[in-house]
Structure 1
Amino acid sequence: MLDTTPLTQAVDHFADRLRAAPQSRLQRGGAAEALALARELARRAQLLEDPSAEPREMPDAGMFAAADQITVAGHDLAVVLKDAAQLAEAVALVGEAQKRAGV
């Protein structure tokens, strides 16, 4: 079984940083970056679960929900990852998004 702890830890850390960020930082792009990441993680999870289905897009629930959205999407992806390469790619996505978000 694949140990997905690096992904869940990265997602949880990013989410914690978003929750601690001032509203101004979220408005300057932090929340938008988190939503884009959540959508990508959710898309990947859906494709792994059912490659023949069209992935549904995660809705924009507002800037204060962005941390929860990346947490849910990241943990959902962690459950369906199949190999270490997918895991490493997902962890890298989270790290890159966090840098762009500035948190």
Structure 2
Amino acid sequence: MLDTTPLTAAVDRFADRLRAAPQSRLQRGAAAEGLALARELALRAQRIEEPGQEPRIMPDAGAFAVADQLAVAGHDLACALERETAPSARAGLDEAVSLVRAAAARAQV
């Protein structure tokens, strides 16, 4: 079984920073960055869990909900990767962690 702790830790850290960010920071792009990442992580989880199905796009629930959306999407992907048996799961995990770290840096929260 794949250890997804690096992904969940990175997602939780970014989500906590978004929760603590002032509204002005969220409106200047941090919320949009978080939502874009949440959508990407959700799509990746759906592709693993439902191959061949048309992925659903996570809705924009507003700047104050984006941290929770990110946490849910990140943990969903972690669960999907844990169950994945393909050799590419490790690469998928590493790539997801890199995406989270890069988005957090761009969000500057």
* TM-score grouping bracket, smaller chain normalisation: over 0.9
Q: How many residues align?
A: 103
1:50 to partner: Cα distance: 1.3
Question: What is the CA distance between 1:10 and its match in structure 2?
Answer: 0.2
Number of the residue aligned with 2:41:
41
Residue 96 of structure 1 is matched in structure 2 by 102
Paired residues for 1:13-92 under 5 Å: 13-81=13-81, 82=84, 83-92=89-98
Q: CA deviation at 1:84?
A: 1.3
Runs (5+) with no aligned partner, structure 1: none
Distance in 1, matches of 2:106 and 2:63, equals 16
Residue 86 of structure 1 aligns to which amino acid in structure 2? G
Q: Give, in whole Å, the separation in 2 of the partners of 1:67 and 1:73.
A: 10
Question: TM-score normalised to the size of structure 2?
Answer: 0.93
Distance (Å, rounded) in 2 between the aligned partners of 1:39 and 1:65 = 13
| Divergent runs of 4+, >6 A | none
Gapped runs of 5+ residues in structure 2?
none
Q: CA deviation at 1:6?
A: 0.3
